[in-house]
């Protein structure tokens, strides 16, 4: 999606994917807290989901969709994520 225009439907898919990847990562980090190799794949998938949101930068008219309470909570959690690369 990078560098491409995105519509509301596409952004909704990206946000749903972000939420799903975030939740999986949280679950795996708790389940495998002492074994980082077991949650590494979910870290990569979460990072990819975050990077996919770059597509929205060219579509300022969709920014309001980023302001939903659930998405804001995810963004706040990502800022504090243990993996600073995310």
Q: What is the pLDDT of residues 11-64, one digit of tens each?
A: 999 999 999 999 999 999 999 999 999 999 999 999 999 999 998 888 889 999
C-alpha angle 59-62-68 in degrees, rounded to nearest 5: 145
Give CA–CA dist 77/57, Å, rounded: 21
Q: End-to-end distance of the chain based on CA atoms, in angstroms?
A: 18
Give residue 58's pLDDT: 84
In this predicted structure, what is the pLDDT of residue 3? 44
Per-residue pLDDT tens for 51-74? 999 988 888 899 999 999 999 999
Residue 1 has pLDDT above 80, yes or no: no
């Amino acid at each position: 999606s990078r560098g491409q225009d995105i519509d509301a439907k596409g952004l909704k898919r990206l946000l749903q994917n972000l939420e799903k990847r975030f939740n999986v990562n949280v679950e795996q980090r708790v389940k495998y807290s002492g074994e980082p190799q077991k949650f590494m794949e979910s870290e990569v998938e979460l990072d990819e989901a975050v990077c996919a949101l770059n597509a929205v930068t060219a579509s300022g008219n969709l920014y309001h969709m980023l302001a939903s309470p659930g998405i804001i909570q995810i963004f706040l959690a990502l800022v504090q994520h243990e993996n600073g690369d995310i």
